A = this chain, B = another copy of it.
Amino acid sequence: MTRNAFYAQSGGVTAVINATACGVIETARRNRDRIGTVFAGRNGILGALNEDLIDTGQETAEAIAGLRSTPGGAFGSCRYKLKSLEDSAKEYQRLIDVFEAHDIGYFFYNGGGDSQDTAHKVSELGERLGYPITCIGIPKTVDNDLPLTDTCPGFGSVAKYVATSVREAALDVASMCETSTKVFILEVMGRHAGWIAAAAGLAKRHGDDAPHIILFPEVPFDDDGVLDRTRDVVERAGFCVIVVSEGARYADGRFLADAGTTDAFGHAQLGGVAPVLAQMVRDRLGYKFHWAVADYLQRAARHIASATDVEQAYAVGRHAVELALSGRNAVMATIVRTADQPYRWQLGEAPLEQVANVERTMPASYIGADGFSITDAARRYLEPLIAGEDPPAYSGGLPDYTVLRNAAADKKLAPFEA
């Protein structure tokens, strides 16, 4: 029996989430006897609620293949969390109505923790509301905080970007430190966990290589400790490179980024932990400094994606379809590490109910005893994830990213009234 599929991208996008979409759609197309049209939700689950479905069948094979090397979310993503079945009965009924109207029997949801929770709830539609649907979660998040999978597609490429950027910027600062900048601060993502900050540590190969100081959300920020260490490093190495997680915070839980700065009108100053830290360096150490905030650049940087990450992102998309076709339901496709060196991995699965709303934190054993560095255990975990290059095609000197037609499927229902 042939039924159609729904695929959606959810939450913050990454450099490789479209590689997952590519894996889903190409695998579905190889199984046309079982899966008819793959409808993509425009802007994630909102596309289902609003019956705003993209008919991916209208995209050429070449366009779908191009997704493998295109960053961002090709169908649009959203930040939208479904409540429980009890609290949002209308929304769940609407999903069933839309799925039924378009003969959707497969639901693939590609996202992080909240999204796996949504996937889990949709999987309950079958039993609880009597609508037969096969529901598979697909991991994605630069935060690397999903449980039961060795890593989350998207993280390895951010890791490669930040480690590369730190290595490069450090060479710049090292050149100039005699007469110019002595402290360079790079702010990276990671509001709750220091995975991305830790990855920057891969830039260091020898003793006094950068980064010299990594500030993790997991380690309470202590002004004196950080500034003393900064001065020590500058005096010894001539310069100091600091990587700070956006989630760096004081022992009392206050974020550094909320350090109480105000503008000329007395309004609270907008985030950015790097400038706050730079200010401390200036006021208390007097060093010339520079700072950078990579923000979206880090998670969109497909041009320096990890080949391992791209391959895994594609693979979990393919595997999700294979799981569905083999009769699995209410599971998330996972990556299972079988060896560190040489790195080996295989695909697996985990029950959505065990994934939903569980946040994997970074092991304490990954942070050095000084609180400013990563351990060998962290390196063993992280190094394989940034391995290999998979550059996009270029034209005219710039990455030649794919833009889909994203043709809307005909609507069959009245508009949704929430």
Residues 153-189 of chain A: 1 if any B CB is under 8 Å from the residue's CB, otherwise 0?
A: 0000000100111011111111110111100101000
Partner of A279, one of B46, B186, B263, B398: B263
Chain B nearest CB: distance from A292 CB in Å? 4
On chain B, the residues within 8 Å of A203 by CB distance are 398
8 Å CB contact of A261 from B261, B283, B290, B300: B261
Option from B165, B260, B279, B300 in Cβ contact (under 8 Å) with A168: B300
Determine if A299 and B172 form an interchain contact, defined as CB atoms under 8 angstroms apart.
yes
Report whether A275 and B269 are in contact in the complex, using a CB–CB cutoff of 8 Å: yes
Contact between chains at A387 and B383 (CB < 8 Å): no
Given contacts A261-B261, A264-B262, A272-B272, contact A163 B386 (CB under 8 A): no
How many subunits of this chain does the assembly comprise?
2
A 250-293 to B, binary, CB cutoff 8 A, 1 in contact else 0: 00000000011111110101111011101100110000001111
CB of A296 within 8 A of CB of B72, answer no
Closest to A264 in B: B260
- The answer, yes or no, to whether A55 is at the interface (CB within 8 Å) is no
A167 near B261 with CB under 8 A, answer no
Check A176–B79 contact: CB distance below 8 A: yes
State how many angstroms separate the Cβ of A156 from the closest Cβ of chain B.
9
- Contact assessment for A78 and B179 in the assembled complex, using a CB-CB cutoff below 8 Å: yes
Q: CA–CA, A388 to B78, complex, Å?
A: 35
Query: Which of these binds chain B: A85-93, A317-325, A360-368, A389-397?
Result: A389-397
Whether A172 pairs with B275 at a CB distance below 8 angstroms is: no
A100 at the interface (CB under 8 A from B): no
Contact across chains for B176 and A300 when beta carbons are under 8 A apart? no
Chain A 7-35 per-residue mask, 1 if CB under 8 angstroms from chain B, else 0: 00100110100000000000000000000
Asked if residues A389 and B391 are in contact (CB atoms below 8 Å), the reply is yes
Quick check: B179 and A79 within 8 Å, CB to CB? yes
Closest to A181 in B: B296
Q: Please tell me if the beta carbons of B297 and A294 are within 8 angstroms of each other in the complex.
A: yes
Contact partners of A202 in chain B: CB under 8 A: 396-398
CB atoms of A164 and B399 under 8 A apart: yes
List 8 A-B pairs, minimum CB-CB distance, nearest first. A72-B171, A73-B175, A386-B397, A292-B295, A168-B300, A260-B264, A172-B300, A43-B178
A-to-B contact residues, CB < 8 Å: 9, 12-13, 15, 43, 46, 70-74, 76-80, 160, 163-165, 167-176, 178-181, 184, 186, 202-203, 259-265, 267, 269-272, 274-276, 278-279, 282-283, 290-297, 299-304, 306, 308, 383, 386-389, 391, 394, 396-399, 401
